[in-house]
């Protein structure tokens, strides 16, 4: 397994792989912004936009590769607001259902957190749904801040709450 920063140009060349990974996760019930049925081309469009934002410096992307296959991905998105240069959001932590329970999610989070700290960021936040994800974040020291009921729809259209988490990083 290799976990590393995914350069914008490389992401641009792998948007179909990223879309396939996201589709696998949606098919398994992940609440990542789409409901069933979805069109693969919409997922490709989303990842093209992510690659463009990465090229513009708005976010960074980390990947987990197993034998060159894109097995996991996570985004670290800087605040972009004048009052938030110290914070960023973790988004789209996705691990292929075929490669779960191998430590990829944990490795991706550690890589993103390490990078964030090296960039002088001192506060990370995220929202999530699901017991497995929440257990992972809690085991990494993330702090539960509350939940919002009926925040989003599951892929099957059922409303669900989202849990809010944050993690403070030591200043450099």
Each residue of 122-156: pLDDT tens digit? 999 999 998 899 999 999 999 999 999 999 999 99
Q: Which CATH number do you get for residue 22?
A: 3.40.630.30
Question: b/e map of 76-85 (b: 16 or more CB within 10 Å)?
Answer: bbbeeeeeee
Q: Which residue ranges in the chain fall short of pLDDT 50?
A: none
Predicted pLDDT of residue 41: 98
User: Side-chain half-sphere of 97: how many Cα atoms within 13 Å?
Assistant: 10
- Please give the C-alpha separations between residue 7 and each of 59, 62, 72, 113, 116, in angstroms, as whole numbers: 11, 8, 15, 17, 16
Give the pLDDT confidence score for residue 3 in this predicted structure.
98
pLDDT of the residue at 91: 98
Residue whose C-alpha is closest to residue 142's, from 98, 102, 93, 95: 93
How many folded domains does the chain comprise? Answer: 1
Residues 6+ apart with CB under 8 A from 41: none
Strand partners, 147: 163
Task: State the residue range of the domain holding 12.
Answer: 2-168
The reported pLDDT for the residue numbered 130 is 87
Query: 3-class SS at 124?
Result: strand
């Amino acid at each position: 397994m290799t976990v590393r920063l995914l350069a914008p140009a490389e992401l641009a060349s792998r948007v179909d792989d990223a879309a396939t990974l996201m589709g696998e996760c949606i098919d398994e019930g992940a609440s990542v912004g789409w409901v069933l049925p979805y069109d693969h081309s919409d997922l490709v469009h989303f990842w093209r936009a992510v690659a463009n934002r990465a090229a513009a410096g708005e976010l960074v992307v980390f990947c987990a590769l197993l034998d060159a296959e894109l097995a996991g991905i996570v985004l670290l998105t800087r605040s972009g607001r004048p009052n938030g240069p110290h914070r960023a959001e973790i988004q789209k932590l996705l691990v292929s259902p075929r490669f779960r329970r191998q430590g990829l999610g944990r490795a991706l989070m550690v890589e993103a957190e390490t990078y964030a700290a090296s960039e002088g960021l001192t506060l990370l936040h995220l929202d999530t749904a699901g017991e497995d994800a929440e257990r992972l974040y809690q085991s990494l020291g993330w702090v539960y801040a509350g939940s919002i009921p009926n925040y989003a729809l599951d892929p099957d259209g059922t409303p669900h709450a989202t849990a809010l988490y944050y993690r403070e990083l030591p200043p450099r």
